Structure 1
Amino acid sequence: MSIVSARRVEVGDLGKRPPPPPAPWESFNFLSRYYGGIRSIVPQSENKPEYPMPEDELPYTNETGLEEPGTAIREVPVSLPFQPYKSRNMADYPPSKECFLDEKSTIRVPQLQYYAGRPRGFPDNILGSYELLGMSENMCFDRYGRLGPYGYGYSLRTGGIGTGHSGDTEGSEAVWRPESGEGSLNKVDYRTVDWATAQRRCYQANSGRFNSVSPLQKPINTFSVLAEETTEVQRRDEVRDGAGLNETKISSTKHLPRIAVVIRTWDDFKYQEEDVIQLRAMIAELSLGSGGEYDVHLLVQVKDEGKNPIWADPETYQKHLNESVPEEFRGIATFWSVTQMLMLYQGVFDNYARGPDLPVHGPYRGLQMAMQWFAQEHPEYDFFWHWEIDIRYSGHYYDLFSRIDSWTTEQPRKGLWERNARFYVPTVHGSWEDFRQMARIQTEMGTSSSNNIWSGIGGTKGAPERPKGEKPIWGPERPQDENDWFEIENDPVPPTPYEKDKYVWGVGETADLITFNPLFDPDGTTWLLANDITGYNASEGLPPRRAAIVSSARMSKRLLNTMHRETVFKKHHAFSEMWASTAALHHGYKAVYVPHPIYVDREWPVEYLTDIMNGGRNGATGGSRTSVFGEREHNLLGMTWYYNAGFAPNLWKRWLGLKINNDGGEQFELTVDESKTGEGVNQMKGGEGRMCLPPMLIHPVKGVNLPIEKIEEEETEEVAESDPSA
């Protein structure tokens, strides 16, 4: 080595380094049968999934030739109405009254339509389980059956969104056909719908089903100009002049909880047609269809407060609301701002975990502050779903939420935090009972991780000690310093020691926190926000904490109130994806990760995938540098659910009939291309019709540009009234 080279090495100048090698998963083959169409649908019991497959079988091909038995392109099957409300046991509660879009109670939202089965070869989910959550696997939804009730597939002139006229459309009209099969198609004219008013009417008609809530006793309103605010968003849950109080006759003392679905957005968000459809779907399926069990809200951040001083007076507030939110949703929108959070949560120390441009009160690190405030403003709700506007669900929202609620309520607390910390891979883990026992043994005994070459090797210089078990979490897991304990008098206490519990405690208890990704221990991981917690005595280390990446979750009123009071009085706070789960951990609240079905885009070896996903300490997802959350999160890019998953938006857009990466589109749906080999995504022959997806959560989906018809303003078209009997 020359003197010059030696000096460069001394100062760390190693010259231009070669790029790192590609991740192993990038060499795995893409799966193609996600893109099969409705003309190849077979019953799930007869489906031979492309993945996962036994290693000794031949690779799956996309051959659709008529000469191969069982793979022929068939006629379009008949779709069926999806009725999720009848499947839920509500016998102990007062019956619901039907809700309509209009004041005259004549306009119904059409039911979703599904197809029995799946496209031939459709892969199985690699994570989570349908059976576990009580969901059917023998169904799929095409874009018309899923979105047609909300304006997809018909023109702007008739109240639709003006898209959905290209590609395979055969059989699409079934979603608008009246149940009787007679009369005009029930294509709802959404141009005059006011969703806030529709939700309020629905609640009033069904108010006897719910517990009455005392009016909010407000202190002196900090933003005094809004003290007498009378917008729809402030008052839509009030029952005026006794209206609706006796609409539902109560024959039972049991009442339903009320749930808010709070969708996060911001004032310069561009509501594209596809976003509008999703919001309509959530309100119709969760609120109107359920008889008022849910209310859907928009929580809108005002970004430029200097330019838009919304707190100045009600007129300024309303003007900016009109500029920021489509008319049909304005009544469900609530503004919030960073300055407002600074005022409410004074004295919170900012450790600037991600630099000065991302303050603790801002929408990135302090988003839960806005949810805490919202819950204080709305005591009428028992639970709050925090939802992101770029989430999509290919099934019915009420079916999803109600099954999640039922399953999480029945989960016992014994071993719960340990199960919460792991992905469930049915192909590897077997039954849920097998998985439960595995998590218990891994926790108590420790594991030799395949990610650690020194694990279990005695006598090796510098090698870590042999695996050690951990103490399972049983009740509140407090911060080390008792001075950091706050209002613990009413925290849940285990009724028996851990060893004596027979998986009884917690069964029948509604969860305070529900998440869609594992609740992992960030301590020791490479996750950038692992130490973004403030207000605690850290002289003996940071307090115990948990996190779940992707902030969408359901939180109870109790949990949000605890978070609010800790932030106000103790100045405790943590990163938005860590604060709710950490507060639940400290206070012993019931938190549950839902193992919902997640799909992967490539042919991963399933054992290897399991090792990567649960690559943390003792077989969990967190607790060590080998966690998938942090530097290894690139392994989640090919999933249907993660904050930056690349597969998710591509799958959704292909399902909508769009061409992505030069694949899919109108001709692919309609025409068989015999020049293609049928092997792989790029060589699919097509001609199977439009895609059909089983119910799955898909995230993120942003900026979907649908081809929208353009009409001249002077053009008008007579709109037929919706059929009341539809």
Structure 2
Amino acid sequence: MARIRSRGESDLEKEGFLNRHPHSSEDDSNDTFDEEEGNPSVASSRATSASYKPMLINKAYSSKRSSSPSYLGRMPRSIMRYLCLGVAVTLLIFIFSLVRMSYVAEQEVQEAIEQEKMKPKPPPWEDFPFLQRYYGGIRSMVPVVDNVPEYPRKEDEVEWEKLNITEEAVENLTPDEAHPARKERRKRAIQPSKRFEPYPSYTSPEYVAKYGEKVDCYLDAENTISIPQVRIYEGIPRGFPDMVMGSAKLLGLRDDICYDRFGRLGPYGLGYSINRGGSGAQQEGEREGADLVWQEAPEVDWRKVHWADAQQRCVLANNHRFKELPEKPRIDTFRAMPIGTVYNKRDDLVDFEAMPTKTPESPKRPKTGSERLPRTAVVIRTWWDYPYTPEDKIYLRSLISELTMLSGGEYVVHFLVQVKSNDVPIFSDDETYERVLRDSLPEEFRGMGTLWTEKQMELMYGGLEETNMRGLPVHGVYRSTFMPMQYFAYQHPEYDFFWNWEMDIRTTHHWYHFFDSVTKWAKQQPRKLLWERNSRFYVPSEHGEWEDFSQMVRIQTEHGTNSVANLWSSLNRANKDPNDPSSKTTPAGAMKQQGDKPIWGPERPLDDDVAMDTDPTPPTSFEKDKYTWGVGEEADLIVFNPLFDPDGTTWLLTDDTTGYNITRGRPPRRTAIITASRLSRKLLLTMHKETALKKHSMFSEMWPASCALQHGLKAVYVPHPEYIDRKWPTNYLASVFNAGRNGATGGARTSVFGEREHNFRGTTWYYNAGFPEVLWHRWLGMKFNNDGGEQWEVAGEGRMCLPGVLLHPIKRVELVQEGRRADQAG
């Protein structure tokens, strides 16, 4: 019998159907009913009332949650915790990094501020304006007497730029002549250059009677190839600055002429092609008037010239003009420094000895004179792998041509070649010696060289104390440049004088004119106060004439420069009350006005016996001498920078003395920066004996001058013309360059030599000067620092024309030939 359901049960079934969520699964429904059936309170409610909850229940709002969690809608709590922790840590790191960076940046700013405060100010000369009229051309030439120099100018003179000096004003042109069309036609015309003859009148009866007949020299054995002559222009470019130190007129040098590049170097290969034996450079561009160089003598094919043969023929032909040669020259290979090749290898070997012992017979014997000329060697210092450029070869050709060939052998050029490896057996094998010597020089100069090594010097001058100054050996070329020169002089007794010359020196001077002029001037210098004059730069615009300069030196030496008239003098510390009896006394600590003891005769070291029998002694006292001792005496040492006292200066090598007893102080010494100099045979042999026998030596630039000082030999600083690239006030310049003790260049920490040598950067003669490179390149028609060059010359005043000036250093000039460097042509 069917069970009749009560109303309550029917309502419960409906309730269950209506309570089912459309998206709920059957399992969810079952779970819900099971939960309700197991709950007593719910069961009892069903029995009493069917309305215990609403008829329609939305499951989404029910407080009951499914026991099975869903991972599709939310992230697990553990992952969220780690994620939040990571974000927090990242924020903390970021904040700390910002703080750290801010602190570091602040520290760097503070350090930069401190460094800027401590940073030394640039030297005053860097603020001086550059001079521009060094680069004037041959189209703006004026006579020297009419030139208004751009520099130096007195304080009461108008600046050169404001004078408005025009070509029309200089040449006094009429308005019609100054018309642009006529001016353009005039611009194309320049004055012709002239042949320069600085040599003595060799054919004059007076010269022939005194020195004999000079035989002309040629480049070939047939006596057909002559050397073209140097050519000059009279005058200088308009506004060209005067020399700031030294004087051309004082030395007897021509100061009323200038040299362009073709007139000066054209005879030696500049300006014509390689196919004709030239350098291949400067064939285009500004060349007006250049061909006059080869008008009297054609271009020389330098590929066919062998200088050793030509020089030897020249010396042989003029042997009668010079003193007799020693009967037996030293010929041992190891000890003798042979010239060109090994003398005693074979009897039939061609002898390239520089000075043969007798002249070959000739059909017409030249006349001899009443006196004989001294023999002089010009020794070029180089090394075995030196890279010779075409410009180097031009420089060397000019030296040999002007000093040897055109003078009839008055000078003989040698190459002193350093072999930098001590492992090459040049003294153990003749073939090795000849091979190394042959490979060390360009083909046209082979046969003129001498090899040497530092190991050879160590053997010849053994026993020297090794101080390792600056970590360098005492026998090395840096500290003992003159060791091989000493030994060269010892092995070559035929020479009276030796020029120690370098590969990085250039000059616009004619070589013979320059060497002859400075030698004659040095010969006429009196010994009295000579060392004191040697120690100062001569600035004509401040010091006046040479006689005025010499008088100033005498006063500074006798009385000093520390006077009451000097505001900063310590003498001003004294009490000047006339009523105070102590006013005439100098307080403790104040310097006294005092001069220097003048040098008169040898200056001996305190504790070393260096006296030699050949040392000269003064013929009278210093006070009695009337500036006569030394006049007409050949200088034992000629240098081109002042001979300063290094004691007390900041020069790094002042203490580089070897073998002396320094218990009571260093020996007396003098220094001349740059080793280019002329040394007498007497001085070199004195240096040789000091080194070999007494074991004494000094740094290269200090050794010759100090030896001359200690032995009473005659040393002369030649005040040659020097220029500067900026507008220095001349009174300031004189005070800077003569800032040593009592107006000299040395003897005090204020010396320009040492920490203050940066002041030389703009000069034309110093080992680290920069101005020589600028002048030389611009003069050669090349661009330098984007200035000058072919277009600049053609559009402007033409190619540069420089008066005689000595330049150092000039490093590896790369001439350009047909769009490529001449040293790469081949």
TM-score, length of structure 1 as denominator length: 0.88
Deviates more, 1:309-318 or 1:426-435: 309-318
The one-character-per-residue Cα deviations of 1:633-690 (angstroms, maximum 9, x if unpaired) are 111110011111100111111000010111000010001xxxxxxxxxxxxxxx1000
SS at match of 1:653: helix
**Aligned partners of 1:451 and 1:626 also within 8 Å:** no
1:190 shift after superposition: 0.7
1:408 correspondence with 2:522: yes
1:513 shift after superposition: 0.4
1:479 correspondence with 2:596: no
**Aligned partners of 1:301 and 1:336 also within 8 Å:** yes
Distance 1:247-1:575 versus aligned 2 partners, 3 A rule? farther
Distance 1:246-1:557 versus aligned 2 partners, 3 A rule? farther
SS at match of 1:457: helix
Distance 1:709-1:363 versus aligned 2 partners, 3 A rule? farther
The aligned counterpart of 1:312 is 428
1:466 shift after superposition: 2.7
The within-5 A match list for 1:528-547 is 528-547=652-671
The aligned counterpart of 1:458 is 573
The one-character-per-residue Cα deviations of 1:45-75 (angstroms, maximum 9, x if unpaired) are 1111000012233433397976766597842
Letter aligned with residue 692 of structure 2 = V
1:340 correspondence with 2:459: no
The aligned counterpart of 2:230 is 112
1:296 correspondence with 2:422: no
Structure 2 portions without partners, runs of 5+? 1-112, 173-182, 575-585, 821-826
The aligned counterpart of 2:685 is 561
1:595 shift after superposition: 0.5
1:226 shift after superposition: 5.6
Deviates more, 1:155-164 or 1:318-327: 318-327
Structure 1 portions without partners, runs of 5+? 1-13, 179-184, 672-686, 712-726
**Aligned partners of 1:296 and 1:332 also within 8 Å:** yes
**Aligned partners of 1:107 and 1:188 also within 8 Å:** yes
Distance 1:117-1:421 versus aligned 2 partners, 3 A rule? same
The one-character-per-residue Cα deviations of 1:122-180 (angstroms, maximum 9, x if unpaired) are 000000011111112110000000000001100110011111113311100011101xx
1:259 shift after superposition: 0.3
1:478 shift after superposition: 0.8
Following the alignment from structure 2 to structure 1, what is the Cα–Cα distance between the partners of residues 136 and 260?
A: 11
**Aligned partners of 1:547 and 1:579 also within 8 Å:** yes
Pairing partner for 1:210 from 314, 322, 327: 322
Distance 1:452-1:328 versus aligned 2 partners, 3 A rule? farther
SS at match of 1:200: helix
Following the alignment from structure 1 to structure 2, what is the Cα–Cα distance between the partners of residues 653 and 367?
A: 29
Following the alignment from structure 2 to structure 1, what is the Cα–Cα distance between the partners of residues 167 and 690?
A: 66
1:222 shift after superposition: 4.1
Letter aligned with residue 419 of structure 2 = V
The aligned counterpart of 1:570 is 694
**Aligned partners of 1:204 and 1:239 also within 8 Å:** no
TM-score, length of structure 2 as denominator length: 0.78
1:153 correspondence with 2:153: no
**Aligned partners of 1:563 and 1:580 also within 8 Å:** yes
Letter aligned with residue 109 of structure 1 = I
Distance 1:106-1:452 versus aligned 2 partners, 3 A rule? farther
The one-character-per-residue Cα deviations of 1:398-446 (angstroms, maximum 9, x if unpaired) are 0001111111111110110010011111111111111111111101111
Pairing partner for 2:401 from 274, 284, 302: 284
Distance 1:615-1:192 versus aligned 2 partners, 3 A rule? same
Following the alignment from structure 1 to structure 2, what is the Cα–Cα distance between the partners of residues 361 and 627?
A: 29
The aligned counterpart of 2:582 is none
Following the alignment from structure 2 to structure 1, what is the Cα–Cα distance between the partners of residues 364 and 606?
A: 52
Following the alignment from structure 1 to structure 2, what is the Cα–Cα distance between the partners of residues 403 and 299?
A: 25
Letter aligned with residue 690 of structure 1 = R
Aligned length: 673
**Aligned partners of 2:327 and 2:357 also within 8 Å:** no
Following the alignment from structure 2 to structure 1, what is the Cα–Cα distance between the partners of residues 587 and 350?
A: 69
Pairing partner for 2:551 from 437, 442, 446: 437
Following the alignment from structure 2 to structure 1, what is the Cα–Cα distance between the partners of residues 541 and 201?
A: 28
1:61 correspondence with 2:161: yes
Deviates more, 1:72-81 or 1:508-517: 72-81
The within-5 A match list for 1:703-718 is 703-709=812-818
The one-character-per-residue Cα deviations of 1:180-226 (angstroms, maximum 9, x if unpaired) are xxxxx610111111111111111111101111121455497646996
Distance 1:494-1:64 versus aligned 2 partners, 3 A rule? closer
Deviates more, 1:104-113 or 1:311-320: 311-320
**Aligned partners of 1:226 and 1:311 also within 8 Å:** no
Following the alignment from structure 2 to structure 1, what is the Cα–Cα distance between the partners of residues 319 and 570?
A: 60
**Aligned partners of 2:767 and 2:808 also within 8 Å:** yes
Pairing partner for 2:627 from 476, 481, 503: 503
Distance 1:710-1:48 versus aligned 2 partners, 3 A rule? closer
CA RMSD after TM alignment: 2.6
Following the alignment from structure 2 to structure 1, what is the Cα–Cα distance between the partners of residues 217 and 332?
A: 37
**Aligned partners of 1:261 and 1:386 also within 8 Å:** yes
Pairing partner for 1:191 from 300, 303, 306: 303
Following the alignment from structure 2 to structure 1, what is the Cα–Cα distance between the partners of residues 503 and 363?
A: 33
Distance 1:464-1:541 versus aligned 2 partners, 3 A rule? farther
The aligned counterpart of 2:742 is 618
Distance 1:689-1:241 versus aligned 2 partners, 3 A rule? closer
The aligned counterpart of 1:256 is 373
1:353 correspondence with 2:469: yes
**Aligned partners of 1:102 and 1:193 also within 8 Å:** yes
Following the alignment from structure 1 to structure 2, what is the Cα–Cα distance between the partners of residues 326 and 293?
A: 24
Distance 1:370-1:244 versus aligned 2 partners, 3 A rule? farther
**Aligned partners of 1:168 and 1:690 also within 8 Å:** yes
Distance 1:589-1:193 versus aligned 2 partners, 3 A rule? same
Following the alignment from structure 1 to structure 2, what is the Cα–Cα distance between the partners of residues 451 and 228?
A: 70
**Aligned partners of 1:263 and 1:298 also within 8 Å:** yes
- Higher RCO by CA contacts (8 Å cutoff, separation 6 or greater): 1
The aligned counterpart of 2:579 is none
1:242 shift after superposition: 3.6
**Aligned partners of 1:444 and 1:471 also within 8 Å:** yes
SS at match of 1:543: coil
1:382 correspondence with 2:496: yes
Deviates more, 1:335-344 or 1:315-324: 315-324
1:457 shift after superposition: 3.2
Distance 1:227-1:67 versus aligned 2 partners, 3 A rule? closer
1:645 correspondence with 2:761: no
Pairing partner for 2:193 from 79, 90, 99: 79
**Aligned partners of 1:258 and 1:383 also within 8 Å:** yes
SS at match of 2:437: helix
Following the alignment from structure 2 to structure 1, what is the Cα–Cα distance between the partners of residues 299 and 475?
A: 44
**Aligned partners of 1:233 and 1:332 also within 8 Å:** no
Pairing partner for 1:136 from 228, 239, 254: 254
